[in-house]
């Protein structure tokens, strides 16, 4: 395979990797604050995509308005998930919480199936689909949008966590909930915020993604799983790790599909995961328990 084609695969890998990374960021944001693994994270991605499609093509809102309204609705759904499912189960075991979020995931999926049928739908690209040619390598503008989005979200989360009082409160909630409560932080409200932020990140990932590939009600499962793998790969609980893990997964996938028979793509990706976890059980950056970093 020529160098140009290898670079092409790298571009494809980075693009998909940025999407996985965004989904992983959603997992990590909730986990860091509350210790909950939210398996409905993929559904936020799907809802972000399908709501935008609906608002754009059926309700005829302008593109930016459709996207904004979709994100707001997904954030409300995220808060609702916390309020109605996670909050009442705060005292339950982790296993029960995981089961509950899986239930939420099925619930949202099937509502989406009823509301929009199962037909895949796509969004128009944000800024046309004329590829930018760098020598023999073509880069679609949408790829750049996705990569930019991942970078912006990562930086924003970093600043939020490390430079604001609000972020400090979230970190305090994660590190020592009891002490945080004693100094007057409303831990419940902090965790609610983490669900809101995760839902927003997921919705953005979804609507950026739908401009590249058609999505339907079941797409959330695929991306939820890949995002989870990315989060584990990068070092469970770390934001930068999530993005790194996403990029690593995307690049490994693209190269294995491009260089080997394509059927091995998932096998190779999961083999890499097993190897990394075997030799480095804490992920690329080393896992952090809720609150470290």
The residues binding other proteins (CB under 8 A) are: 1-2, 5, 8-9, 11-12, 15-16, 54, 58-59, 73, 76-77, 79-80, 83-84, 87, 111, 113-122, 124, 129, 131, 133, 138, 140, 188, 212-214, 216-218, 222, 254-255, 257-258, 261-263, 265-266
DSSP track, 122-156: -PPPBTBSPPEEETTEEE-HHHHHHHHHHHHHHHH
Tokens read off for 126: 């944000």
Q: What are phi and psi of 215, to 5 degrees?
A: -125, 150
Residue among 149 and 157 whose Cβ is closer to other proteins? 149
Residue among 259 and 284 whose Cβ is closer to other proteins? 259
- Provide the minimum distance between the beta carbon of 133 and other proteins in the complex, in angstroms, as a whole number: 8
CA gap 200, 190 in Å, rounded? 15
Residue among 85 and 232 whose Cβ is closer to other proteins? 85
Residue among 118 and 152 whose Cβ is closer to other proteins? 118
- Provide the minimum distance between the beta carbon of 162 and other proteins in the complex, in angstroms, as a whole number: 28
- Provide the minimum distance between the beta carbon of 209 and other proteins in the complex, in angstroms, as a whole number: 9
Q: What are phi and psi of 38, to 5 degrees?
A: -95, 100
Among 108, 76, 292, CA closest to 192: 76
- Provide the minimum distance between the beta carbon of 32 and other proteins in the complex, in angstroms, as a whole number: 22
- Provide the minimum distance between the beta carbon of 83 and other proteins in the complex, in angstroms, as a whole number: 5
How far does CA 235 lie from the centroid of its chain?
A: 15
Residue among 77 and 97 whose Cβ is closer to other proteins? 77
Alpha carbon dihedral 229, 73, 150, 198, in 10-degree steps, equals -50
């Amino acid at each position: 395979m020529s160098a140009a084609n290898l670079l092409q695969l790298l571009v494809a890998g980075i693009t998909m990797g940025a999407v996985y990374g965004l989904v992983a960021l959603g997992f990590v944001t909730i986990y860091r604050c509350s210790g909950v693994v939210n398996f409905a994270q993929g559904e936020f991605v799907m809802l972000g995509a399908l709501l935008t499609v609906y608002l754009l093509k059926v309700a005829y809102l302008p593109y930016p308005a459709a996207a904004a309204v979709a994100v707001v609705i997904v954030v409300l759904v995220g808060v609702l998930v916390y309020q109605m499912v996670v909050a009442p189960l705060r005292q339950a075991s982790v296993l029960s919480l995981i089961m509950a979020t899986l239930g939420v995931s099925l619930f949202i999926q099937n509502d989406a199936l009823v509301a929009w049928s199962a037909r895949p739908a796509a969004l128009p690209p944000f800024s046309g689909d004329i590829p930018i040619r760098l020598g023999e390598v073509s880069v679609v503008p949408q790829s750049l949008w996705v990569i930019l989005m991942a970078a912006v979200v990562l930086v924003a989360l970093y600043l939020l966590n490390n430079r604001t009082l609000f972020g400090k409160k979230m970190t305090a909630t994660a590190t020592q909930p009891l002490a945080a409560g004693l100094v007057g932080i409303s831990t419940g409200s902090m965790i609610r915020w983490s669900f809101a932020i995760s839902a927003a990140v997921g919705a953005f990932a979804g609507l950026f993604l739908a401009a590249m590939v058609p999505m339907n009600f079941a797409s959330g499962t695929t991306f939820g799983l890949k995002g989870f793998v990315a989060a584990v790969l990068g070092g469970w609980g770390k934001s930068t790790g999530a993005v790194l893990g996403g990029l690593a997964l995307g690049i490994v996938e693209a190269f294995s599909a491009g260089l080997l028979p394509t059927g091995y793509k998932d096998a190779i990706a999961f083999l890499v995961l097993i190897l990394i976890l075997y030799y480095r059980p804490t992920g690329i950056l080393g896992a952090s328990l809720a609150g470290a970093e």
